Structure 1
Amino acid sequence: MRANRVLLLLTLSALGAIVVLPIGAVLLQAIFPDLAQGSWARPLAHLGETLSNPALLELIGNTLRLGACVVLLSALLGIPLGCLRGLCRVPGARFWDLLFLLPFMIPPYIAALGWILLLQPAGYLQQLAGSHLGGFLFSFSGVVFVMTLNVFPVVYFAVSRGMAGSAGRLAEVGRVFGGNPWRCFWRISLPLALPGIAASLLLVFAMAIEEYGTPAVLASNAGFFVLVTGIERRFSDWPIDLPGASLLSVLLVVMAMFAFIAQRRLTAGRSYETLTGKPGEQAPRELGAWKLPALALFAATASVASIAPLFSILATAFSGTLSGGLSVANLSTRHFEAILTQGGNATRALLTSLSLGLGAAMLTGLLGLLVAYCVVRLRTRGRAIIDALSLLPNTMPGVVVGVGLILAWNQGFWPATPYNTWVILLLAYCCLFLPYPVRYANAALQQIGENLEAAARVHGAGMVVTLRRILLPLVWPSLGAAMLLVFAIASRELVASLLLAPTGVQTVSLFIWRQFEQGSVGQGMAMSSVTIALTTSVMLLVSRKRGSLR
């Protein structure tokens, strides 16, 4: 019991430093409009003015509609692909996994710009096929299309890892007792994968409502505004409205909490334990006559989600000029030569981003496992609060987390502060991406019976040994996949980096952003290409060593 209390205290302390401080600062700013000036006067004085704005209902409606549509399409795309990957022997399975990881390694604003260069009038598609899809791209449907392709791998990897576990083996048991394949899938495999599906769809919804890059690049051109773009305008347009932006951020939190409650209600009162002893290997099923249709589905999805935007990025990076179009005469490596001759700025930015991404992946992986253990295993009254706190960051746009960290740490009463150092960037990344390992580890722990831990305690193992020798190996496929996602996304995070990067510290995203600001689109795409290649190589190497991609 003492070990449980120590673990709970450590987890709460970490959540307090990483999550509660910045979000609490934003909440206080939403209540006290003059907090930034050091005054606690006039609480909620701006509430009526903000809520009475007629544009607010439109922002809320657009945000909910966008999130719901992205969740629906991600489910329709990710669940079938994940089931096929987890239950069946798909030729080239590791190759498809790698291709579906690419959207996480392409920053959303880069992907959106790539789709613009591809589908706009006189874009690459028109140069190749004679027609363009600019009208579709700059519309609500186009925004949903691009955002779905960016986030559906969250569902794919959660479902494939869940199906590859004991759910598939138990379905085989059902077939032995007379169940046909479809009945065993609907009655055994799919219900047992429900925690992972619900967790991944919750993450997709949170990612959709807080994503800034795609709505800023595409939705504004379509006259479609959401809460996150409204928040950014209140932060950036003069006069700056910190109280109003903070209040809109609170509304985003409320939306995400409703999704959180819906997930808990969906999985409440059911048991998902499938590992009650030593886990065994599951032999994937042969696809048989469905082999070619399945491969066609994987190939079509990978072509649209990964290859198309990557082609646009590479075509721009290797083009001498945009006006030159796709032609052999326009091929050039001058953009790569330019980024290599800028005094080492590109190299330093790349190393900084990779180091911060690795640090964020390790810290969030450790804390995610501890949070999931406290929520699933410890019988404490506050476990729902711990779970909710771990989810909150994914409901906050990066710009809000950045401002929250500034408000929290840029205060004179701290004896030491991470503000204006690289540590503030690490805290921001950990805060933003903590929900990934928490959700994945939570879903994995729900499938592990408690008798394994009881047996370890009977043989004298303490909590630390049990976590390290028993639970961690069992949850590692899901947790490792989540940590890879954290590494990929943290390595190219933009908005918080723009706000928090101290003088002399430059990340890849900042380097690329400044190239675009200067009109050097080719150099920005060249740096994006280098980053994608390096992060892909690192993730492939790690996955092979750890067995995350199986």
Structure 2
Amino acid sequence: MSRNAFLPGVTGIALLLLVAVPVTFVALQAVFPHLDTGSFSAPFSAFPPVFEEPQLRKLFATTLKVGLGVAICSGLIGIPLGALRGLFALPAAALWDILFLVPFLLPPYIAALSWMLALQTNGYVQQLLPWLHLNDFLFSLPGMVVVMTLNIFPVVYFAVSRSMAASGSRLADVARIHGAGPWRAFIRITLPMALPAMASSLLLAFTLSIEEYGVPGALGSRSGILMLTTGIEQRLADWPVDLPGAAVLSLMLVAIALCAYSVQRAVLAGKNVESLTGKPADVTQKSLAGWTIPVLILFMAVALIAVALPIVSMLITAFSRTLSGGLSWQNLTLGHFGNVFAAHGDAPAALSTSLGLALGTALIAGATGLMASWLVVARKIRGAALIDGLSLLPAALPGIVVGVGLILAWNQRFWPVTPYNTWGILLLAYCCLLLPYPVRYVSAALKQIGGNLDAAARVHGATAAQTLRLILLPLVFPSLLASMMMVFAVASRELVTSLLLSPAGVQTVSVYVWRQFEQGSVGDGMAMASVAAFLSLTLMLIAVRLQQRTAS
């Protein structure tokens, strides 16, 4: 292999192993139900039994209801808050950004468990407010939608606030000068310019909710509410294992996500609004004037419900000797944290395993993302569209589909060596799921740099590898490092693929927390969750800071 083909070849192999192999085997297993025995007989025979199951319609309908409900509710919360944050001089704006980052960083399954402890019968809220009974609401479809919404709405808030802050209010002010009222100027000028960001964030909220397993697994299991994710998990966990049925349901889940993307593209077709003045937009934010106090009350109310309540519930449980002891000073203890950091036990092993896997994921995903972005944006090699598509495809893949694909791919008899039933299968899963983070960050940085430096280096005799290592890498390194820290933070608490793929004797932080709840050791589970949440928040804040420093 020539020197010019070595780096593209290595990148292509990495993308094939991380992305193409699991996706291909999901499709193959769905089409050829006897693939696990090496037979390609009876193609498509797995589809009719799945489609004829009476439960399928309920799974499909519930998944759509949850996805649409979360998208709508996230829009109702995130769009007004984002507009206020982007267009007006909000007091302590940076503080609100940090607070609203917390729900997105708190793993959904931990948030669901925290809400259970807070709102269930004799929970923390009822101990303080005995007249308030929210147990039945929590363990219902609307309750699941609300819990997911409070975890997901920040993606809409940040997208809308950044979009409106970037577009500014100058064009709306021009409309006001020409006789438009404030609401008409907002609806006809400001809102259309932010429409792509709104649509993209609502699509993301929809896809994040339909692919979520932790909340349906925690809340839905008690109320009999099942989604496609829990249906897939049941087919893999219950005997007899139904690999073809799990593959068919996985394809259905991917199809829903792709249909949502197509609907978004159709809705936005021809409706993108851009400023063609050639001048930067005026980003001067307007004063809230007499609305300052009401707006602050609104932000405080959302922060109290979405941030403070689940975090406080988690910490109270972590510091409580027993749940039955209730809210009392006598019930406080540090024993659960002692168990987490004890020299002997499952908790330190789970923490070290998660940190090791997260570090490996950050390094592999970072390196692969850097190479893919460089080949697509800077080098523009032949096949760049395929590399770009493979590197961003995991963003549309639910985690449970990736897990199913890896099981189907690597649990085959013809492999001489396989990572199945080892920690390596978890590393592959995390790298596949989180690869889009470094791809997006590094691609954006390379587009800002442009192609002049690369071309100048090549003219002066530098090889492609030398140009990447000596010139481009130092320039994009802050963005790359920020994305790797985000990958580390998310990988350290990933749940669904960990539950599906963890081999016997191997526990991660998420699996440890989940199993502690199943075994009744709630305090130990929440102590571990607190440590993981603190670690994720710290790393994410550092990553955001690095991004801000790079942008400035």
Range class of TM-score, shorter chain: 0.7 to 0.9
Q: Deviations over 1:52-96 (max 9, x none)?
A: 112211211111111111111111111222222233332222222
Alignment of 1:42-81 (within 5 A): 42-81=42-81
Corresponding letter in the other structure for 2:510: S
For 2:24 and 2:127, how far apart are their aligned partners in 1?
Answer: 51
SS at match of 1:238: coil
Instruction: Work out the CA distance in 2 between the residues paired with 1:124 and 1:320.
Output: 14
Name the amino acid aligned to 2:499: L
Deviation digits for residues 86-116 of structure 1, max 9, x if unmatched? Answer: 3333222222222222223322222212111
Match of 1:316 in 2: 317
Give the Cα separation in 2 of the matches to 1:440 and 1:183. 36
- Partner residue, 1:433: 434
2:264 maps to which residue?
Answer: 263
3-state secondary structure, aligned to 1:308: helix
Question: Counterparts of 1:24-43 in structure 2 under 5 Å?
Answer: 24-43=24-43
| Alignment correspondent of 1:527 | 528
1:17 aligns with 17
Q: 1:133: Cα distance to partner?
A: 0.4
Instruction: Name the structure 2 match of 1:424.
Output: 425
Quote the residue 1:161 is aligned against: 162
**Deviation of the 1:32 alpha carbon:** 1.4
CA distance in 1, matches of 2:424, 2:356: 11
Aligned equivalents of 1:93, 1:346: Cα separation in 2: 38
Alignment correspondent of 1:124? 124
Q: Which moved more, 1:405-414 or 1:44-53?
A: 405-414
- In structure 1, distance between residues paired with 2:412 and 2:361: 24
Equivalent in the alignment of 1:95 = 95
Q: Report the CA distance between 1:483 and its aligned residue.
A: 6.3
Q: Is the 8 A contact 1:155 1:197 kept in 2?
A: yes
Q: Is the 8 A contact 1:122 1:132 kept in 2?
A: no
Indicate how the Cα distance of structure 1 residues 296 and 471 shifts in structure 2: closer, same or farther if over 3 A, else same: farther
Among 173, 176, 182, the alignment partner of 1:175 is 173
Partner of 2:287: 286
* Secondary structure of 1:42 counterpart: coil
Instruction: State the distance in 1 between where 2:4 and 2:264 align.
Output: 26
Q: Cα 1:497–1:220, aligned 2, differ >3 Å: closer, same or farther?
A: closer
Checking the alignment, whether the CA contact within 8 Å between 1:207 and 1:394 is kept in structure 2 is no
Spell out the pairing of 1:406-417 with structure 2 (5 A cutoff). 406-411=407-412, 413-414=414-415, 417=418
The Cα RMSD (Å) is 4.1
Tell me the equivalent position of 2:248. 247
Q: Structure 2 vs 1, CA of residues 517 and 382 (structure 1 numbering), >3 Å: closer, same or farther?
A: same
Q: State the Cα deviation string for residues 155-207 of structure 1 (Å, max 9, x = none).
A: 22222333333x12xx3255257366655544444333333333222221111
SS at 1:285 equivalent:
coil
Paired with 1:194 and 1:467, the residues of 2 have a C-alpha distance of 39
Deviation digits for residues 511-545 of structure 1, max 9, x if unmatched? 22332233211111111112212222222233334
Once residues 64 and 128 of structure 1 are traced to their aligned partners in structure 2, the CA distance between those partners, rounded to angstroms, is 36
The residue correspondences of 1:107-118 to structure 2 (distance < 5 A) are 107-118=107-118
Residue 542 of structure 2 is aligned to residue 544 of structure 1: no
**Residues 497-524 of structure 1 deviation map (CA, whole Å, 9 limit, x = unaligned):** 2333356653211222332233211111
Measured in 2, the distance between the counterparts of 1:386 and 1:266 equals: 27
Distance 1:426 1:50, change over 3 A: same
8 Å Cα contact 2:117-2:313 kept in structure 1:
yes
Partner of 2:152: 151
SS at match of 2:324: coil
Deviations 1:447-473 (A, max 9, x none): x89xx8477688778999799989998
TM-score by length of 2: 0.83
Aligned residue identity for 2:43: P
CA 1:383–1:258 in 2, change beyond 3 Å: closer, same or farther?
farther
Q: Which moved more, 1:109-118 or 1:341-350?
A: 341-350
Kindly indicate whether residue 73 of structure 2 is the aligned counterpart of residue 85 of structure 1.
no
Pick which of 276-285 and 461-470 moved more: 461-470
- The residue number in structure 2 matching 1:335 is 336
In 2, Cα distance between equivalents of 1:318 and 1:189: 47
Residues 460, 433 of structure 1: alpha-carbon distance in 2 compared, 3 angstrom cutoff? closer
Letter of the structure 2 residue corresponding to residue 172 of structure 1: R
Q: Which region of structure 1 is more displaced relative to structure 2, 131-140 or 373-382? A: 373-382
Equivalent residue runs for 1:137-536 within 5 Å:
137-165=138-166, 167-168=167-168, 171-172=169-170, 175=173, 178=177, 182=183, 185-269=186-270, 282-343=283-344, 345-357=346-358, 359-360=360-361, 364=365, 389=390, 392-394=393-395, 396-411=397-412, 413-414=414-415, 417-435=418-436, 453=450, 486-502=487-503, 505-536=506-537
Residues 361 and 483 of structure 1 are in contact (CA less than 8 Å); yes or no, is this contact kept in structure 2? yes
Higher deviation after alignment, 12-21 or 27-36? 12-21
Residues 174 and 433 of structure 1: is their aligned pair in 2 closer, same or farther, counting only changes over 3 Å? same
CA distance in 1, matches of 2:363, 2:187: 36
Render the CA deviation track for 1:256-309: whole Å, top value 9, x for unaligned: 111121222334446666799897894433322222222222211111111111
TM-score normalised by structure 1 residue count: 0.83
Relative distance call for 1:457 and 1:511 in structure 2 (3 A) is: closer
Alpha-carbon separation, structure 2, partners of 1:28 and 1:366: 29
Q: Which moved more, 1:315-324 or 1:457-466?
A: 457-466
Deviates more, 1:49-58 or 1:418-427: 418-427
- Contact preservation (8 Å) 1:357, 1:488: yes
Gaps of 5+ in 1: none
Letter paired with 1:401: V
Name the CA distance, whole Å, in 1 between partners of 2:58 and 2:133: 30
Which amino acid is 2:44 matched to? L
Q: Write the letter of the residue equivalent to 1:51.
A: F
2 CA distance for matches of 1:184 and 1:4?
Answer: 54
Per-residue Cα deviation, 1:124-150 (whole angstroms, up to 9, x for no partner): 111101122011111111010001111
| Contact 2:89/2:288, CA 8 A, preserved across alignment | yes
- How far did residue 217 of structure 1 move? 1.7
Say if 1:339 and 1:429 are closer, same or farther in 2 by CA, change over 3 A.
Answer: same
Check conservation: 2:32, 2:43, Cα contact below 8 A.
Answer: yes
Change (3 A) 1:235 1:348: closer
Distance in 2, Cα, partners of 1:486 & 1:122: 38
In 2, are the aligned partners of 1:199 and 1:439 still within 8 Å (CA)?
no
One-letter amino acid matched to 1:164 = A
Equivalent pair of 1:321/1:330 in contact (CA under 8 Å)? yes
Does the CA contact (< 8 Å) of 1:512 and 1:528 recur in 2? Answer: yes
Per-residue deviation, residues 415-447 of structure 1 (Å, max 9, x unmatched): 6554455443232113223456667889x79xx
Question: For the residues of structure 2 that align with 1:493 and 1:47, how far apart are their CA atoms?
Answer: 30
Moved more, 297-306 or 348-357: 348-357
Q: 1:215 to 1:255 in 2, by over 3 A?
A: same
Superposition deviation, residue 408 in structure 1: 1.8
- Contact kept, 8 Å, 1:82 with 1:160, in 2: the verdict is yes
